[in-house]
Amino acid sequence: ATSSLLAFVSPAAAKTLTVGFAQTGAESAWRTANTDSMKNEAEKRGIILKFSDGQGKQENQIRAVRSFITQRVDAIVIAPLVETGWEPVLREAKRAKIPVIITDRTVQVSDESLFVCFIGSDFYTEGKMAADWLAKAVNGTGNIVELQGTPGSAPANERRKAFADGLAAYPGLKIIDSQSGDFRRSGGKEVMEALLKKHGKAIQIVYAHNDDMALGAIQAIEEAGLKPGQDILIVSIDAIKEAVAAVAAGKLAVTVECNPLFGPKVYDTVAKVLAGETVPKVSYNKDELFDSTNAAAALPSRQY
Ligand code: GYE
């Protein structure tokens, strides 16, 4: 009986993979969708996922990565809260010979060999798409307030820069104020309330770095007795289902897509890396845009 049981423990049997994932937190609907994609796909593939919620603190993420190294996981995935400050822990992972895949947000490091590759969206292109769409929609004039994402994060940095670059050709489009709502709905609402008090009717356009802040701003605008979509035009990024619905309802003017459902791509990449195959250093997801022309039709099939 013993020998027949042992026959199942064949040396050729595939080893169960263990992956550590240091997530930023749970600040937005985008983030929840990203976490679900990573967790669900791991379960589907029989991968053991060690998941850490950084709760919006880089030091929590760094601590998680250190514990993944101690546990000797097969691969580490990081969605870095901010761009800087990662070198020391990435060196520790490299010394331990554990491959690190950076997802969602980019990092700034002096040595690109500290991580295997990046998988996520092109935030600069997203910000540029938002600016181009807006300039056309309002004929190149209007006063804008900007709701920034988490300070120091790649999407806040890139979406801000791209939008400003896109507006450079339109002197009539002016950013009259810009503040961070930390990618949170409550943040967007609070900042918008303050901006409405400060600037009143001068605000014609809101550019939010994500949908959650845009939806918070819409609440603030409505509570101030104004009509989002009529009195103030709102432009945003992510294309979460609720935002696409707000576009279809005429409250949000446009949302540029940022696809969070890349769990499958991440694990495909982990498998390739562990098999010794080379993978592209940077792999961008394809993103589109939803405005009044296509939002209603797209709504039923939105996956997040
Ligand atoms: O746009 C926002 C989230 O890093 C792309 O983070 C991500 C951003 C996303 O909180 O909703």
Choosing from 119, 183, 259 the residue with most ligand 1 atoms within 8 A of its CB, the one to mutate for a pocket test is 183
Rounded to two decimals, the ipTM of the complex is 0.99
* Tens digits of residue pLDDT in 260-293: 999 999 999 999 999 999 999 999 998 999 999 9
**Closest ligand 1 atom to Cα of 153:** 4
Choosing from 121, 125, 186, 238 the residue with most ligand 1 atoms within 8 A of its CB, the one to mutate for a pocket test is 238
* Tens digits of residue pLDDT in 99-135: 999 999 999 999 999 999 999 999 999 999 999 999 9
Angular region, 203: left φ>0, alpha ψ -120 to 50, beta rest: beta
Strand (E) or helix (H) holding 33: helix 29-45
Distance, CA 237 to ligand 1 centroid (Å)?
9
Distance, CA 284 to ligand 1 centroid (Å)?
15
Matching residue, tokens 């101690």: 70
Instruction: Output the ligand 1 site: residues, CB below 6 A.
Output: 27-28, 30-31, 104-105, 155, 183, 210, 212, 237-238, 258
Question: pTM score, two decimals?
Answer: 0.95
Please list the ranges in the chain whose pLDDT falls under 70: 1-14
